[in-house]
Amino acid sequence: MPDSINKVGTVVILAAGQGTRMKSARPKVLHPVCGRPLVAWVVDQALSLAPRQLVVVVGHGGESVVEAVTVAAGATPVTFVTQEPQLGTGHAVQMAAEALGSDPGRVVVLYGDMALLSSATLSDLVAAQEEGGMSLLTFEMDDPRGYGRILRSAGAVTGIVEERDASPQERAIDECNLGVYCFDGAQLLADLPRLTNDNDQGEYYLTDLVALAVEAGRAVTTGTLENSDEALGVNTIAHLAEVRWAMQVRILEKHMASGVYIEDPASTTIDAGVKIGAGTHILPYTVIRGGVVVGEGCEVGPFTHLRAGTVMADGAEVGNFTESKNSTLGAGVKAKHLSYLGDATIGAGTNVGAGTIFANYDGKLKHRTEVGQDAFIGSGTILVAPGTIGAGATTGAGAVVTGQSAVGADETWVGVPARPISRAADREQRADDATDEQE
Ligand code: UD1
Ligand code: MG
């Protein structure tokens, strides 16, 4: 029984290749795109089709790829298949045949290096597949970037030829194969053993299934892209940068649509999964990595680096050459110049003076520093962690507050190492003395 319209039984992701053209020791699908491995974006695509099962073919960099896929898939179970050696995209799907089971339903095959495909485009591909036939995504490109070319006769697709196997006339074709297919699962299982490796690379090409389908008179149909940037795959480091930027633009546009003013998108990096409240202003040359939360009405930048675990409450401001990691900034906190906020909790209304360093690392371990509300940290203060600074306390310019110090509420500490010059108890005493004198 064919699945009902637009229902996908199985998604297979091919992620076993080495990515030789990347000239990188890291497996291609683990290169980061906006803070997530390339393959994580492809897992999202697969999940958007809500398949009954998800099969991922791994090989090169096996364990680390399994880990990245597992994280991205979250609660969805994944069947991993190992392809060793890697003898081509067709061989990769052959290795997955057993995992597909006897009734895989509609099977969508995705390549692990195509990060930008939208769920709308994938739905279109699935809708284009006719009973017993296969569908694929194609796109006319000015720069075919080494992609396979779509052969047509009288308008109908007749095959795919890889660039390295193509004649000069075939290379001139601008309609390219994007490497995304939807098959009738039973037909796929029947056709897979018929692939040969009779080509320039001596590989089993998945793309040869197109000619097999055409020979047998089965429908080969094509789906269209929602947006042209979806055609960008990653085969080289230059492609990686190009795909990252396309993804970055999507992320920036989403934030701007929800009321975040990104003054200079071209110089702003914001990873996937960052939350930013409306009315916040991001100034140029700012980098916000994954795992950061910025409240409403905040100001970030210019030249600011927010790293994982940074949480800024509403109205907090972090500026020029300030880096923050794993730190919580209360409402209205200001740290506007030349500071490192590492493993700190900073109470609302506190002012962190220029050049303040939260020295969180003792050479072996990281420690935290707690600063209360409305404190005033003088310029050039070094707060050696662990330590606490009470609410309303002050440190003098250049103070070095050594580890394990507990600066009390409203106290003022100065010097190297920092010592209290005014303790709350002293002030109370002075106030008492003054009262005594008046009496
Ligand atoms: C492939 C297509 C080409 C298409 C292009 C689009 C084939 C033969 N060619 O070429 O028509 O234009 O994608 O991006 O399919 N992989 C494995 N095992 C292998 C080989 C590859 O799992 O043995 C995986 C890779 O990890 C990668 C994907 O399959 O994620 C595609 O492999 P790649 O080598 O990038 O194929 P292309 O040369 O780009
Ligand atoms: Mg590729």
**pLDDT tens-digit series, residues 371-401:** 999 999 999 999 999 999 999 999 999 999 9
Ligand 2 centroid, distance to 156 Cα (angstroms): 24
Mean pLDDT of 339-353: 98
Ligand 2 centroid, distance to 98 Cα (angstroms): 24
Given this model, what pLDDT does residue 433 score?
A: 76
Q: Is 60 in the pocket of ligand 1 (CB under 6 A)?
A: no
Phi-psi region of 4 (alpha: psi -120 to 50; beta: other; left: phi over 0): beta
What number does the ligand 1 atom closest to the CA of 83 have?
Answer: 18
Q: Is the confidence at residue 354, as pLDDT, over 70?
A: yes
Boundaries of every domain in the chain? 5-231, 252-438
Give CA angle at 2 (212, 72), nearest 5°: 85
Q: Is 151 in the pocket of ligand 1 (CB under 6 A)?
A: no
Which protein residue has the closest C-alpha to ligand 1 atom 38? 147
Q: What's the pTM?
A: 0.94
| Alpha carbon distance 106, 1 (integer Å) | 10
CA 354 to chain centre: 32
Which protein residue has the closest C-alpha to ligand 1 atom 22? 16
Q: Is 112 in the pocket of ligand 1 (CB under 6 A)?
A: yes
Which residue from 84, 111, 161 has its CB within 8 A of the most atoms of ligand 1, so it is best to mutate? 111
Q: Is 83 in the pocket of ligand 1 (CB under 6 A)?
A: yes
Ligand 1 centroid, distance to 277 Cα (angstroms): 40
Q: Do domains 5-231 and 252-438 have the same CATH topology?
A: no
Which protein residue has the closest C-alpha to ligand 1 atom 25? 17
| Alpha carbon distance 297, 276 (integer Å) | 9
Q: Is 61 in the pocket of ligand 1 (CB under 6 A)?
A: no
Q: Does domain 5-231 have CATH number 3.90.550.10?
A: yes
Ligand 2 centroid, distance to 114 Cα (angstroms): 7
Q: Is the confidence at residue 46, as pLDDT, over 90?
A: yes
- 3-state SS of 238-280 is HHHHHHHHHHHHHHHHHHHHCCCEECCHHHEEECCCCEECCCC
Q: What amino acid is encoded at 193 in this protein?
A: P
**pLDDT tens-digit series, residues 103-142:** 999 999 999 999 999 999 999 999 999 999 999 999 999 9
Q: Is 147 in the pocket of ligand 1 (CB under 6 A)?
A: yes
pLDDT category, 286, cuts 50, 70, 90? very high
Given this model, what pLDDT does residue 340 score?
A: 98
* Mean pLDDT estimate for the chain: 96
**Parallel, antiparallel or unpaired: strands 281-282 and 387-389:** unpaired
Q: Is the confidence at residue 3, as pLDDT, over 50?
A: no
Given this model, what pLDDT does residue 438 score?
A: 62
* Max CA separation in the chain (angstroms): 111
Q: Please give the CATH superfamily to which domain 252-438 belongs.
A: Hexapeptide repeat proteins (2.160.10.10)
Ligand 2 centroid, distance to 153 Cα (angstroms): 26
